[in-house]
Amino acid sequence: MDDVVFGRRYRVIEKIGSGGMADVFKAVDDVLGRTVAVKVLHPRYASDPTFVARFRQEAQAAANLSHPNIVNMYDWGRDGETYYIVMEYVKGTDLKSLVAQQGPLDPRKAAEYAAQVCSALAVAHGYDIIHRDIKPHNIVLAPDGTVKVMDFGIARAGNTTMTQTGSVLGTAQYISPEQAQGKQLSPASDLYSLGVTLYELVTGRPPFDADTPVATALQQVNDEPIPPRQVRASIPPALEAVILRAMRKNPAERYTSATEMRDDLRRVLNGDGPAGGVYAGAASPDHTSVLPPVERAASARPASAPRMQPVPERRMSPWAWVAIVAALLVVGLGVAYALGAFGGGGVVVPPLAGLTEEQAQTELEAAGLTLGVVGTENSDTVEPGIIISQDPEAGDKVEEGTAINIVVSLGIEQVVVPDLTEYKEADAIAAIRSTGELEYDHSEPENSTEVAKGLVIRTEPAAGAPVPKGTPVILYVSEGVELVKVPDVTGLSLAKAQAQLEDIGLKAKTTEAFSDSVPKGSVISQKPDPTVLIEAGSTVTLEISKGPEVIIVPDVRTMNEADAKKALTDLGLEPKVTYVTSPDDGIVVNQFPIPGASAKRGDVVEIEVGKTPGDGAGD
């Protein structure tokens, strides 16, 4: 393997894996000197132009993903006819192998791993990247306990919008019901697959596993899973609730986002139940509460109280008053200091802007604070997954244990590409510009048998696709039906004639006929005639030579003259009569060629017809 180098820099060391779409190699980047993983697509995908186009698009999008729980994509490219991607090399064990080796995982560990996967999915979904193949095989556990999700970009490139209509790409044991049915996918599909994965991590087996992939996919669509606690009673009820909600058949009934599912998993880890569910616990002590007012002590004595006798006034030394005031001042200053009035108390809130949520949580825990509400909003300047703002602000002093709320960027606002099919080109351009959210890039001419000339056939990105605000849109405008000139293929072999027609988008239909002048297997004639203009995709009829027709000379001896002539002319032969003296008057007594001989159409067959003596025979 030492001689294999991709992109003139990634030198292969060894093969470390193989799957349905690609082989994986451990390699060294000779430029940066680091170990990487190179995933090489199988030839059947590399030869599919549609797949390659989607692969490029998705690889570029996935390369933008940067998150501690996502295997980084460093590079991608083409080497000859081979397409490859270069990824971070992660030492560790995938969760499928871990369950196979150790059996069901500790529920808390499984919930912790799933929460990390949710963090990865939240970032990817912010870029409108749907993984489509979440399963234990694609989740690697590093030695430090961090999980890494692999194959972002690859999965979608092999499926939908990468998937063709009616086809499904994914692993049957983990695909969502809508993916099994070839429907449009959303982030909820990844959450379903994560629910199935989590089910397997805590029970040791997938919820659905039939004899064939098709049967398994049908179970995903039609069957409800056995509740995890019926398989393994030690699973916490709250974790079972998270799994079953993620695995709802209707996407609208699952978690609305990976962030929401992650928050529920964290509640499970904290001993609480899922938010809003039957297992939901009491309000967190970090939540702000309203305390009842403290009643003021009564200043008037009860009416029934005995009258106090006045105490004779006794003067106090002025120095005693000074001492009391000083003591009270010291006590007041001490209380004020303890309350932070002079900067001596409380905790200074650290700056969180520019960090990831995980980094912020680490900073807050180190400062004795907690992470509060995690909000999200779009941003044109802050990358997805990065904190935009916080409350309280950085530098504020708060009590230890205070919850700090953050707002995390979703990246550039996503907008939906409008359906401009069969719009006039000018109207489509105006429609794009009128949105104020998309840009018109340019128009590409394209022939079409279905869309009239001058109208939009399709757009790129496709209609209905969510894309970042400001994305340029390409219009593919119909040139109408393509006309091609019929070439002259007479005299060519059938194979060459068909190839020549197919090269210009025409089809061939054949008939056969005998020919004395055109070799067997070559074109005798064609319809339409050469140089005629016809629509691309039309059919040209080719008459193919069967070679010269071979006729077997019949036996016409003993026939009368008229019958013998008819028998020969019916076969395309030319009879020539010679009369000879014979008692068999009017009967063919001999012929040449002899019966059974080979002849071709138009050949002469001589027949001798008998004449009795005295009839002039032989004259």
Residues with active-site annotation: 133
As a dihedral over the C-alpha atoms of residue 231, residue 233, residue 236, residue 242, rounded to 10 degrees, the angle is 20
Backbone angles phi, psi at 357, to 5 degrees: -60, -40
Instruction: Confirm if 550 and 519 have CB atoms less than 8 A apart.
Output: no
Q: Enter the DSSP assignment of 92.
A: S
Instruction: Confirm if 194 and 135 have CB atoms less than 8 A apart.
Output: no
Of the candidates 468, 460, 414, the residue with the CA atom closest to the CA atom of residue 54: 460
HSE-up of residue 112 (Cα within 13 Å, Cβ side) = 12
Residues 6 or more apart from 326 whose CB is under 8 A from it? Answer: none
Instruction: Confirm if 512 and 543 have CB atoms less than 8 A apart.
Output: yes
Backbone angles phi, psi at 409, to 5 degrees: -70, 135
Of the candidates 9, 13, 14, 12, the residue with the CA atom closest to the CA atom of residue 30: 9
- Distance separating alpha carbons of residues 179 and 464, to the nearest angstrom: 18
Q: Enter the DSSP assignment of 493.
A: B
As a dihedral over the C-alpha atoms of residue 43, residue 47, residue 53, residue 59, rounded to 10 degrees, the angle is 10
Instruction: Confirm if 268 and 129 have CB atoms less than 8 A apart.
Output: no
- Distance separating alpha carbons of residues 280 and 550, to the nearest angstrom: 93
Residue 331: how many other CB atoms lie within 10 Å = 10
Of the candidates 456, 457, 451, the residue with the CA atom closest to the CA atom of residue 426: 456
Instruction: Confirm if 161 and 132 have CB atoms less than 8 A apart.
Output: no
Q: Is 358 helix (H, G, I), strand (E, B) or coil?
A: helix
- Distance separating alpha carbons of residues 558 and 492, to the nearest angstrom: 47
Residues 6 or more apart from 366 whose CB is under 8 A from it? Answer: none
